[in-house]
Amino acid sequence: MTQELNDGLPAREAALTLIDAALSRRGGLDEAASANGFRFLEPRERAFARALAMAVLRHLGPIDRALAARLQKAPPDRVMHLLRLGAAQAFHLEVPAFAAVATSVELAGANKASRPFKGLVNAVLRGLLRDAPPSDDPTLLAPPWLYSRWVAAFGEATARQIAAQIALEPATDLSLKPGADAAALAETLEGEVLPGGTLRLRRKGDVAAWPGFEDGSWWVQDAAAAVPARLLDVKAGEAVLDLCAAPGGKTLQLAAAGASVVALDRSAARLKRLEENLVRTGLQAEVVAADGATWEDTRTFDAILLDAPCSATGTFRRHPDVLWAARPGDVASLANVQARILDSAAGRLKPGGRLVYCVCSLEPEEGEAQVEAFLARRPDMALDPIQPGEGGAAGFPGASLTARGALRLLPHQLDGGQDGFFAARFRKAS
C-alpha cells in the first residue's frame, strides 16, 4: 500500500467508530465525534472522517441493498461497516476504486475481529464496484418504517420529495445579529440572504475562521429553526422564557430582540455552548439548568418559546444518523414528554401571554396531534393562527401553512432545503 493510502487510515478508522456509534444508538455520531480519540486527529483527518461517515449515513439504504445482493448472510458489524465505507468512498466521495478497496481490506486486517473477513471485503467490494453505482431511490433512503409513516402523513409524492433530501449535503445557514450588514456579509461570505433574513452559504471549513464569527455578527442556525422565535414577535423589555433552550440559537434571537430572556435546559453540558455564544455575540440571558416540566420557579412570562424534545426526524439533512437511531416506539414516548412540558409552559405564562410550541420532527403525533390534545386539556389556551402575511418576515414558505394556522415546514419546501419543523402559536386567556 502506498504511503498516501496509509496516511488516510486513521481517518477511515475514526469514520468506522462514528458509523458504529450512529447505528448502534450508543450516544450518536455527534457524541462520538467529541470523544478524545476523534479530537486528537489532525483537523484535515477529522473533516475527512466525518465526511466519510456522513456519506455512508446519507446513502445507507441503497448501499445496504446493493451489498445484500452480494452477501449470503450478514457479517459482523465491523465488517459490514467496512463494506459500507468502501462503497461510499467510491460511489459518493470520488475516491479511486482501488483506494476504496485497498484501505477497507487493510482496515479489516488491522483488527482481530475482522481479520478473517479480509477476503470477503476484497471480493464483495471489487464485485460491487464493477457495477453501476446504487441508485439513490428516495424510497430506500429512509428506514422503511419511517418512510411508511411519511407516506401515511403526507402522501406518496410528498414522502418521496422529503426522502430525496436525505442524500443531499446541506448548505450552512446563519442568523445575523441586529445591526450586522447583511449585504456586506453575503458578499464577503459568498452567500445569499433568504426571506426572513437568514444568510445561506455553500462555504466549507471551520466556521470559527469565517469573517464575522469572532465579533459575534452571526451564529449558525438552520433557516427553518429560526422561524419559531420570529413567530413569537417579542418586544424589548418583555420577560421571555426559552424552554429546552440548548444549543441556543433561539435564545440568541430572543435576546437580540431586546427581551429579558431566561434560557432553560436540563443539560448543563449543552448549555455551555449557549453561554459561549452569548459571550461571543455580546448578548444577555439568564441561563438555568433544570427540567422544564418540573422547574421550581414561580415567575411568569410575557412570552414562552418551547422547542420540545422530539424524535428530531426533521434534522436528517445535517444529522442523517437520527433516521437510523430512531425506533417506532420513540415517537409515542416523546409525545408524552412534550405534553408534560407544554402544560408546564402554559402555567408559567401571564394572562394574555404568547406561547410558541415547536419540534424539529416530521411526525404528526409530535405536531398536529399534540396541538389538538393540548387545546382539549387547556381551555385557558387558544390557538393564535399564523397568518400568510407573516411569511416574509418570519421566513417560512407559503406551502408550509396549515389550514389550522400552524406551520408544517417540510425539507423540500425551500429551495436548497431546510430542516423539517412543526410550529404552532397559542395565546393565554386574559
User: Catalytic residues, which ones?
Assistant: 360
Q: How far is CA 219 from CA 210, 248, 257, 283, in A?
A: 11, 10, 15, 12
Q: Which of 42, 117, 126 is nearest to 78 (CA)?
A: 117
Q: What does the CA dihedral 144, 369, 420, 306 come to, rounded to 10 degrees?
A: -140
Largest Cα–Cα distance in the chain? 74
